[in-house]
A and B are shown apart, each in its own frame.
Chain A
Amino acid sequence: MVCAQVEASPRKHWQKVLYERQPFPDNYVDHRFLEELRKNIYARKYQYWAVVFESGVVIQQLCSVCVFVVIWWYMDDGLLTPQWLFGAGLASSLIGYILFDVIDLGVGRKESGRTWWADLKSTLVFIAFTYGFSPVLKTLTESISTDTIYAMSVLMLLGHLIFFDYGANAAIVSSTLSLNMAIFASVCLASRLPRSLHTFAMVTFAIQIFALWPMLQKKLKAQTPRCYVGVTLLFALSALAGLLTISGVAALLFALLLISISCLCPYCLIRLQLLKDNIHGPWDEAEIKDDLSRFLM
């Protein structure tokens, strides 16, 4: 930094105050100029494998969407009967339900205060209503062209992936919107299946994979990270295998996508982090760190 010519006597030191008339020109630049500048004080250091581990959430969600589409494809082609899907879904839900409590030894249940009976009731109500309404859902979109339905489903599933709560603290995250978009897509797709029983099975499956499965995953991740990695790998492989039976090219592309998200993206993040140049100083807006809600309790 170049200093302006000091007109004053060298004994008098410049002060960073406005209330005193100082013997310096107004555009004087002291050597203390910008001394309070700080850089990257909040920048986080990332570990490669930690980021890879965190990317598991995205992988899981991509695979969920993939599995859902594959199952729909099977149903549409008649390779999978609705009875079988419903039965398998029910069984895996039961296993997941038990796991959900076993993982944290029932601590979460005690905290929420929800009983098994309440869960059973809401499950029965949901199944009964979906079953009752499945003929309506089946005919709901009859007047809409199939292309529109497909396009809409693709958009909705993309939206589901975009708004899903991956754990980031951002304004765009909305788990409600995300879940609603997924269910909407499932209703759209299910309405193109041959019979209303198909529709019922498909919508139930959508609830299981988009609403219940992420909850279990979250708990798995928090309690047993090792199991979580294993489950993620297994899930990804089964999704790939399922996709392979439909289209080899799609499976290859999907595999590339998964690899780039879990391996390449963390690498890019860490490389780009080195280029981070965040400026802080006294001009920053102060943050209120107190918990002020206690004054209104």
Chain B
Amino acid sequence: MACRRIGCHGHTLSPASSINCVKALATGIRTHSICMVSDFFYPNMGGVESHIYQLSHCLIERGHKVIIVTHAYGNRKGIRYLANGLKVYYLPLKVMYNQSTATTLFHSLPLLRYIFVRERVTIVHSHSSFSSMAHDALFHAKTMGLQTVFTDHSLFGFADVSSVLTNKLLTVSLCDTNHIICVSYTSKENTVLRAALNPEIVSVIPNAVDPTDFTPDPSRRDDSTITVVVVSRLVYRKGIDLLSGIIPELCQKYPDLHFLVGGEGPKRIVLEEVRERYQLHDRVRLLGALEHQDVRNVLVQGHIFLNTSLTEAFCMAIVEAASCGLQVVSTRVGGIPEVLPENLIVLCEPSVKSLCDGLEKAVAQIRSGTLPTPETIHNKVKTFYTWRNVAERTAKVYDRVADEVVLPMDKRLDRLISHCGSVTGCIFALFAVLSFLFLVFLRWMTPDSIIDVAVDATGPSGAWTQQYFPSKKGSEKEEIPDC
């Protein structure tokens, strides 16, 4: 995911927990005060954003206190409350590239320290290796002696110079992080290799999809034809070039085959050219960028979902499609083979021929009627991935991390120097010392004791989850405009 997904295929912002908001939980569960940090959060839309949002809600539901820290998006700065008292800090930091903030390792320390202290954070959970704010927060949290968890959402190669550099930085960032979470086993292998980690401190917790948002509706589709749906950003990494080869090949072979393409991007022009060249205007529909709530309505119009990605850590899109009862045809790349069982997905090699074969197989299945009904598929898929399960497993990681010791300064320096190579290690050890001195200076300027303690919105003594505010849907709608 070298380029961030923007817009067209966002994910839900309605909390999965909205059905039964604050469930009475069995007492005795350990609660933590968790700070999620990432550059990517609402109003930006994408896999990471929805992961943070949904996970936070389910953690709140479990009785933990959760706050989110991200950078300011335009006018959206300061502190905001989302549904169920989820508190979000939009920090006034400069955005440098692709919604990622600039990093100096130092400039964000005063702000982040203030937040960590006033919110009495015990665990800092950073998301996405593309977010420099996430790495900064990890660095500061370790300086302050807080427990750290990092979730990696993307895959990276090893071949080119840029990945060599980013992998080195990841090594530095993760070498003294308590625990790492990856979204698939392939992603875990990738992260372990990239950051030279002990695989035992890396857990695999997949993403999830809210099954109530993606329900099948066979009445919406036209059964006299066969419709192939593609919903993705139209960019090179999503294999749109492959799609431009598949469309003419199959349209010539099957006169009743239709394509429905949702999403926007630089490769749209390629699809338009193909459509023009083969006169397929009535059979290939390009819908452009989709709002999140429209994704389901597009999906249910099709029989087959086609995913042509060239690399993918988890691929939520195929789970969403399967949840809508579509037969999924996908390339066998990254973590995709782990996501759905063989009877729900046709896996192909990333070539036009193989994907055409896969689609033909799916078409034959539909014609012979051997496919399970959309309802059956939905009922099966909805048991696979739920945010509650993700939160439960993440909470286990927190419990484990809370019992660990944060490396004291001398051990941390040792680890940096021994683990990250002599040159990089020494440089970052120096940075660690400087950041510690800076922290001492900040503590002298404003001692922890005079920093106001924030009122908890969530957590064991959460004001929001008790009587002060109505915790039901009424207030949510105002808090999350046009999502």
* A residues adjacent to B (C-beta < 8 A): 1-2, 4, 16-21, 25-27, 29, 33-34, 36-37, 278-290, 292, 295-296
Residues of chain A within 8 A of B157, CB atoms compared? 283-285
Give chain B nearest CB distance to A180 CB in angstroms.
27
A29 touching B311, Cβ below 8 Å: no
The answer, yes or no, to whether B202 is at the interface (CB within 8 Å) is yes
The answer, yes or no, to whether B103 is at the interface (CB within 8 Å) is no
Q: Closest residue to A19 on the B side, CB-wise?
A: B384
Q: How far is the CA of A287 from the CA of B157 in the complex (A)?
A: 12
> Would A292 and B341 be within 8 Å (CB), given that A1-B199, A2-B200, A27-B202 are in contact?
no
**Those of B323-346 within 8 Å (CB) of chain A:** 331, 333-335, 337-341
Q: How far is the CA of A179 from the CA of B184 in the complex (A)?
A: 50
Q: Identify which of B187, B189, B339 contacts A19 (C-beta below 8 A).
A: B339
A288 touching B311, Cβ below 8 Å: no
Sample of 23 A–B contacts (CB below 8 Å): A2-B200, A16-B337, A16-B338, A18-B184, A18-B335, A18-B338, A18-B384, A19-B340, A19-B384, A20-B341, A26-B396, A27-B199, A37-B193, A278-B158, A281-B189, A282-B186, A282-B337, A284-B159, A285-B311, A286-B310, A288-B239, A288-B351, A290-B353
Residues of chain B within 8 A of A280, CB atoms compared? 158
**Those of B344-388 within 8 Å (CB) of chain A:** 350-353, 384-385
- Cβ-Cβ contact count across A and B, 8 Å cutoff: 119
Q: Number of contacting residues on B, CB 8 A?
A: 56
B311 touching A290, Cβ below 8 Å: no
Q: Identify which of B155, B206, B245, B353 contacts A295 (C-beta below 8 A).
A: B245
Q: Identify which of A2, A16, A21, A283 contacts B156 (C-beta below 8 A).
A: A283
A17 touching B341, Cβ below 8 Å: yes
Known contacts A25-B203, A280-B158; 14 additional CB pairs below 8 A are A16-B337, A18-B204, A18-B385, A19-B340, A26-B205, A27-B201, A281-B190, A282-B333, A283-B157, A288-B239, A290-B352, A292-B244, A296-B244, A296-B277
B397 touching A26, Cβ below 8 Å: yes
The answer, yes or no, to whether B273 is at the interface (CB within 8 Å) is yes
Give chain A nearest CB distance to B156 CB in angstroms.
7
B244 touching A290, Cβ below 8 Å: no
Q: How far is the CA of A98 from the CA of B27 in the complex (A)?
A: 94
Residues of chain A within 8 A of B189, CB atoms compared? 33-34, 36-37, 281-283
A283 touching B187, Cβ below 8 Å: yes
Residues of chain B within 8 A of A296, CB atoms compared? 244, 273-274, 277
Q: Identify which of B156, B206, B273, B311 contacts A18 (C-beta below 8 A).
A: B206
Residues of chain A within 8 A of B185, CB atoms compared? 16, 18
Q: Identify which of B203, B237, B242, B273 contacts A26 (C-beta below 8 A).
A: B203
Helix, strand, loop or mixed for chain A's interface?
loop
The answer, yes or no, to whether B419 is at the interface (CB within 8 Å) is no
Q: How far is the CA of A72 from the CA of B393 in the complex (A)?
A: 76
Residues of chain A within 8 A of B334, CB atoms compared? 282-283
Q: Closest residue to B207 on the A side, CB-wise?
A: A18
Give chain B nearest CB distance to A2 CB in angstroms.
7
Give chain A nearest CB distance to B101 CB in angstroms.
26
Q: Closest residue to B352 on the A side, CB-wise?
A: A290
A288 touching B350, Cβ below 8 Å: yes
Residues of chain B within 8 A of A16, CB atoms compared? 185, 337-338
A27 touching B203, Cβ below 8 Å: yes
Q: How far is the CA of A284 from the CA of B237 in the complex (A)?
A: 11
B385 touching A19, Cβ below 8 Å: yes
Interface 1/0 per residue, B14-33 and A, CB below 8 Å: 00000000000000000000
Q: How far is the CA of A290 from the CA of B351 in the complex (A)?
A: 6
Give chain A nearest CB distance to B179 CB in angstroms.
8
Which 6 A-B residue pairings sit nearest by Cβ, starting from the closest? A26-B203, A286-B350, A283-B190, A285-B311, A283-B155, A19-B384
Residue in B313, B339, B352 with the greatest tally of chain A CB atoms within 10 Å: B352
The answer, yes or no, to whether B241 is at the interface (CB within 8 Å) is yes
